[in-house]
Amino acid sequence: MAHILLRHRDIPDINKIDVYKKNGGFDAFKKAVTKMKPTEVTDVVKNSNLRGRGGAGFPTGLKWSFIDNKNWPHYVVANADESEPGTFKDRELMESNPFQFLEGLAIGSYAVGATAAYVYLRGEFWQVSAFLDEKIAEMEKAGYLGDNLFGTEYSLKIFTHLGAGAYICGEETALLESLEGKRGQPRVRPPFPPSFGLYGKPTIINNVETFTNVPPIIANGADWYKAMGTADSAGVKLFSLSGRVRRPGNYELPFGKTFRELIYEHGGGVQEGRPVKAIMPAGASSSLIVVDDKVLDTPMDYATVRTLGADLGSASVIVIDDTVSVDWIVDKTIHFFKHESCGKCTPCREGNYWMQTITHRIHSGEGKQEDVDLLLNVAKQMQGKCLCALGEFATMAVVTGIERFPQDFKKAVK
């Protein structure tokens, strides 16, 4: 099947504007602006059952319908902060199929009446940002951005904004704070961005991959999109496959394919032919799943993965083989979260610090069983007590690691 998102794998030069145009580029944006009311665009996206690809899986059209029409101006922001360990899909989209992403962002902006949109990229995507600036300039020159688009009243400008190295800025309200020129620390919600977002104005924030799905949905209709994937999770998804596989990379699959297909058919299986011991399906924020045949044959959609005691999240599947001890995995993830905690909520700031002290002790062979119990205790005390999900995510590998792989911890503290 031809790719819907990774179209550059079928049409290598699609990041050139002429090639993109020749392959139907900007038709959907033109159709939306010249033939559809903004609410009709939102309705099509709603009917397509597209869910947000940043990790939370919130219905995209529904989010757009929440925009507060009593307060203006409106803003749209693309979350290109891609920082979850194991996730590397948005970068490929922006580098190789940038116009489809920008067109989706433009359609989303039209749907909620925004005349300015921002792409917030993590600071490390310096080169990607410069590349997008070129692509935005090309769109302006070709009349796809700017004033009175397609001879209508609608005008739109897109700007890039570089972060500077902070995982927390992927959290949407921290991102907004950062875009406003402040430290990236999450806001108390509610109010949610569709009523109180950038500069206190109604704002829609979606992931890069989410926006990239929009042009084909507007071009081909909601039913076409819904026909792919599963009843729970419509359409196609980019799976970032990493860890101990032979062919790590991004794979575009409809929802509902199995872990086995992803790891063995696409990823070429595990290095040295070893067995899969554990999977983290949502990057470092993920619960650890103990892998057996039943798990390998589980279809990957939001609802079904949840039956395994994990979230699919942004579908960053980290594969761990039987040579790896889970106490090391937990030590690595806590090292990350301790570094990335923004410091606003005490349980996350202090909890991660103490968890790191304990995981280091355990992994260095100086821990006792009491340390494992203490670690679990600290993690459980953090849960449900922080403003944003980081405080929650930090505990996932700890709790599921200890509960599902007790033998690894027993060995580590011996």
Partner 1 sequence: MSLEKTHPKEVKRILAKYPPEQKRSAVMPLLYLAQREEGFINKAAMQDIAKMLDITETEVASIVGFYTLYHDEKAGKYRMQVCTDLPCALRGADEFLNNLCGNLGIKVGETTADGMVTLESVMCLAACDKAPMFQTQGPDGIKYHENMTIDRTMELIEALKGAK
Q: Which residues bind partner 1 (CB under 8 A)?
A: 82-88, 90-91, 122-127, 130, 159, 161-167, 178-184, 199, 240-244, 248-250, 284, 316, 318-320, 324, 329, 332-333, 336, 339-340, 342
Q: Which is nearer to partner 1, 183 or 411 (CB)?
A: 183
Q: Which is nearer to partner 1, 181 or 273 (CB)?
A: 181
Q: Using alpha carbons only, what angle is made at residue 325 by residues 323 and 326, rounded to the nearest 5 degrees?
A: 135
Cα 380 to Cα 59, 362, 396: the distances in Å are 29, 18, 10
How far, CA to CA in Å, does 42 sit from each of 75, 80, 217, 220, 242? 15, 22, 11, 15, 34
Q: How far is the CB of 340 from partner 1 (least distance, A)?
A: 6
Closer of 59 and 249 to partner 1 (Cβ): 249
Choice between 112 and 128, CB closer to partner 1: 128
Q: Which is nearer to partner 1, 217 or 412 (CB)?
A: 412
Token look-up 């589980």 returns 298
CA-based end-to-end distance of the chain: 52
Separation between Cα atoms, residue 218 and residue 360, nearest integer Å: 51
Nearer to partner 1 by Cβ, of 29 and 88: the residue is 88
- The burial class, CB within 10 Å (0-12 / 13-18 / 19+), for 72 is exposed
Cβ atoms of 240 and 279 closer than 8 Å: no
CA distance 158 to 171: 21
Q: How far is the CB of 22 from partner 1 (least distance, A)?
A: 30
Nearer to partner 1 among residue 3 and residue 161 (C-beta): 161
Which residues are CB-contacts of 388 (< 8 A; sequence separation ≥ 6)?
168, 171, 173, 174, 186, 345
Do 248 and 241 contact (CB within 8 A), yes or no? Answer: yes
Inter-residue contact 314 to 294 (CB < 8 Å): no
Which CB sits closer to partner 1, 104 or 163? Answer: 163
CB 390 within 8 Å of CB 168 = yes
Q: Which is nearer to partner 1, 30 or 201 (CB)?
A: 201
Rounded CA-CA distance 176/183 in Å is 10
User: Within 10 A of 127 (CB to CB), how many other CB atoms are there?
Assistant: 10
Q: How far is the CB of 113 from partner 1 (least distance, A)?
A: 16
Q: Which of 392, 287, 285, 299 is nearest to 333 (CA)?
A: 285
CB of 312 to partner 1, least distance (A): 17
CB of 172 to partner 1, least distance (A): 16
